[in-house]
Amino acid sequence: MFPWTFPAIYAGTNVACFAVVMVLLQTWEPPEEPPLPALDPSESRVIAVPPKPEGAAEPGEGDGAGAWTEQRCRQLNGELRDVCFHQLARGRAPTDLIGALEACDILTDVAMRAECQSDVAELHSPTDKDAALAVCPTIDTKKWRDQCVFGIALALSGIEPRYAFRLCDDAGQWRDFCRHDVNGEIAQVNDPLAYEHCSAEEGDILTRKTCWHGMGKYIARVDVPRAWEVCARVPLGPDNLYRENCVHGLAWGAAETASRDFLSQCATLPDQHDSCRLGVAYFESRLDTASALSICDEVVRPDLQEKCEQHVRRMDRR
């Protein structure tokens, strides 16, 4: 009979727990993002809502190489093996660019390998931005090449803000989204510089209004009263789109904490109250479709009410 000593029980329990974790990792799949749609000028006319880049690592976020060893990864198979080497690469990335990229090269899934390389470049950029940027052109997939630049710009936004913002010019399909997020990050700590970037009036109307949207959204995440002050100074712009986008972004950022309770502040605005409601509805649409649609019902302007309902229903189909 097997001797059920404490060490044996302890070892058996560890093996069982590890097996459960591995099964869960193998069966879990992240929600699939829809492909980036072509921009329809009529659709993007009113409010710009750039997404966070798919799969982008948070600046400075590593997974700790100690938790994922090469020996452990090589004992796994298939998708789980790729996931393990991806995490190993991310853990190595801040201090060991070559070792991290070697881990990425082992991945068999082409798309995941490209994502891995992009993540590694972003995570290494605060250590050596030139070496990190040199990785981006080597990535096979255009989407991840562009996202590589986007991620590096985000990672550098608090270190070299002017450089980071200009780096967005090289972010390809993510250019406007990069400007939105990077300038938003800058605005949280230096809103005069962020204001200067948006006031430069670079690009088409979508590019320009998106810049103001990012300022409102990111400042509201940390300081709603200051966000109101900043948006009040934003020029109206063509068809009031600059200030409307700032207020829309502000309401979205504030709703991340206050949810639909923020609508009471929208009602007090002499102007842009509908854009404020849209900001709350757009955030709410990620959580509760019925609640978001009820906010759309409160929008007075017919064109914005239609945009609100279209966005919420589109989110519901994801």
List, as one string, the DSSP characters of 254-293: HHHHHGGGGHHHHTT-SSSHHHHHHHHHHHHTTT-HHHHH
pLDDT in tens, the chain (318 residues): 444 454 444 445 554 544 444 544 454 444 443 344 343 333 344 455 455 554 445 444 445 555 678 899 999 999 999 999 999 999 999 999 999 999 999 999 999 999 999 999 999 999 999 999 999 999 999 999 999 999 999 999 999 999 999 999 999 999 999 999 999 999 999 999 999 999 999 999 999 999 999 999 999 999 999 999 999 999 999 999 999 999 999 999 999 999 999 999 998 888 899 999 999 999 999 999 999 999 999 999 999 999 999 999 998 887
Determine how many CB atoms are found less than 10 A away from the CB of residue 91: 22
Distance CA 194, CA 210 (A): 12
Contact 276, 266 (CB under 8 A): yes
> Is 239 exposed, middle or buried (CB count within 10 Å of its CB: 0-12, 13-18, 19+)?
exposed
Distance CA 163, CA 196 (A): 14
**CA neighbours closer than 13 Å in the CB half-sphere of residue 198:** 34
pLDDT at 37: 38
Give the per-residue pLDDT at 33. Answer: 39
Return the pLDDT at 274: 95
Tokens 């690592």 identify what position? 57
Q: Is 141 exposed, middle or buried (0-12, 13-18, 19+ CB in 10 A)?
A: middle
**What pTM value is reported for the model?**
0.78
292 vs 68, 91, 93, 281, 318, CA distance in Å? Answer: 41, 39, 40, 5, 15
pLDDT at 82: 95
**Per-residue burial over 29-39, b = 16 or more CB atoms within 10 Å of its CB, e = otherwise:** eeeeeeeeeee
Pair of tokens at residue 165: 């913002």
- Tokens matching residue 74: 């090589």
Please provide the distance, in angstroms rounded to a whole number, between the alpha carbons at the two ends of the chain: 55
pLDDT at 68: 75
Q: Provide CB contacts within 8 A for 65, sequence distance 6+.
A: 88, 91, 92, 96
Q: What is the pLDDT of residues 184-217, one digit of tens each?
A: 999 999 999 999 999 999 999 999 999 999 999 9
Tokens linked to 285: 């649409």
